[in-house]
């Protein structure tokens, strides 16, 4: 997902914002290509024409209307087969390992990958959307899997690579500090290795994507 206007970051087209010298969208693309994902599509919008131009020829580009993260995601899901893994382009520390873990955890319904809010606070990155699950305050990461069934599974990972969504300049500074030239695969990126999963038992896959959007694309 790389069609957001990037108003909060205010550094031009958000997917092209560089962390340690590389555009965030390129870093995410590298992580996906190194994972078990079969085909990668870039979902762009009228807000990100230069991003679309640079990605054409590298991956198939799906041009959405640019009416917001959820609307663009819904439009894109109508053009690809399911199950489909979705990821926001503002996760510059992403690696193949968390992606593969999400694929392995998917059981046919909707999978929403979250991190503990406390981890984001400890790292010093912004928190925009939270949800409560089993008494814990969680933050959606922007990494999800959409399947054919309605039931949602929440996978909780205490992993710094999933906790740094670059929405604001201060978030970018944290990403730079953690990356240290590691091209997204942060050494010691997993905070404590803990993973839990639970089912909500309600909500459609579309609703899971609504809650799963770590950013609103802006």
CATH, residue 21: 3.90.550.10
Tell me which residue range forms the domain holding 145: 14-212
CA atoms within 13 A on the CB side of 98: 35
Report pTM: 0.82
pLDDT value at position 59?
Answer: 93
In a domain, 99, yes or no: yes
In a domain, 7, yes or no: no
pLDDT value at position 146?
Answer: 93
Q: Measuring CA to CA, which residue among 22, 181, 140, 159 is closest to residue 97? A: 159
Most distant CA atoms of the chain, gap in Å: 46
pLDDT value at position 80?
Answer: 86
In a domain, 2, yes or no: no
In a domain, 8, yes or no: no
Interatomic CA distance for residues 15 and 18, integer angstroms = 8
In a domain, 134, yes or no: yes
Q: Measuring CA to CA, which residue among 71, 122, 113, 118 is closest to residue 94? A: 113
> Per the structure, how many domains does the chain have?
1
Q: Say how many residues make up the chain.
A: 218
Interatomic CA distance for residues 118 and 213, integer angstroms = 18
| Mean pLDDT split into 10-residue runs, the chain, 218 residues | 73 90 95 94 93 94 88 88 92 96 92 97 96 96 90 94 95 92 49 46 29 34
pLDDT value at position 186?
Answer: 55
In a domain, 85, yes or no: yes
In a domain, 3, yes or no: no
In a domain, 205, yes or no: yes
Interatomic CA distance for residues 189 and 121, integer angstroms = 16
pLDDT value at position 200?
Answer: 45
pLDDT value at position 53?
Answer: 95
**How far from each other are the two terminal CA atoms of the chain, in whole angstroms?**
11
């Amino acid at each position: 997902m790389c069609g957001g206007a990037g108003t909060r970051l205010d550094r031009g087209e958000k997917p092209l914002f560089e962390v340690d010298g590389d555009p965030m969208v390129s870093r995410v693309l590298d992580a996906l290509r190194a994972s078990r994902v079969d085909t990668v599509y870039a979902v762009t919008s009228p807000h990100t024409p230069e991003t679309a131009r640079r990605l054409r020829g590298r991956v198939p580009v799906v041009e959405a209307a640019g009416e917001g993260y959820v609307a663009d995601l819904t439009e894109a899901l109508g053009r690809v087969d399911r199950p489909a893994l979705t990821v926001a382009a503002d996760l510059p520390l992403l690696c193949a390992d968390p992606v593969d873990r999400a694929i392995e955890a998917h059981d046919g319904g909707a999978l929403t990958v979250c991190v503990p809010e406390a981890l984001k606070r400890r790292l010093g990155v912004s928190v925009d959307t939270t949800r409560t699950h089993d008494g814990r305050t969680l933050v959606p990461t922007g990494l999800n899997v959409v399947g054919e069934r309605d039931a949602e599974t929440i996978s909780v990972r205490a992993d710094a690579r999933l906790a740094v969504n670059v929405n604001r300049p201060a978030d970018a500074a944290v990403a730079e500090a953690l990356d240290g030239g590691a091209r997204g695969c942060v050494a010691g990126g997993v905070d404590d290795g803990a993973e839990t999963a639970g089912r909500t038992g309600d909500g459609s896959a579309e609703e899971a994507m609504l809650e799963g959007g770590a950013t609103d694309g802006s």
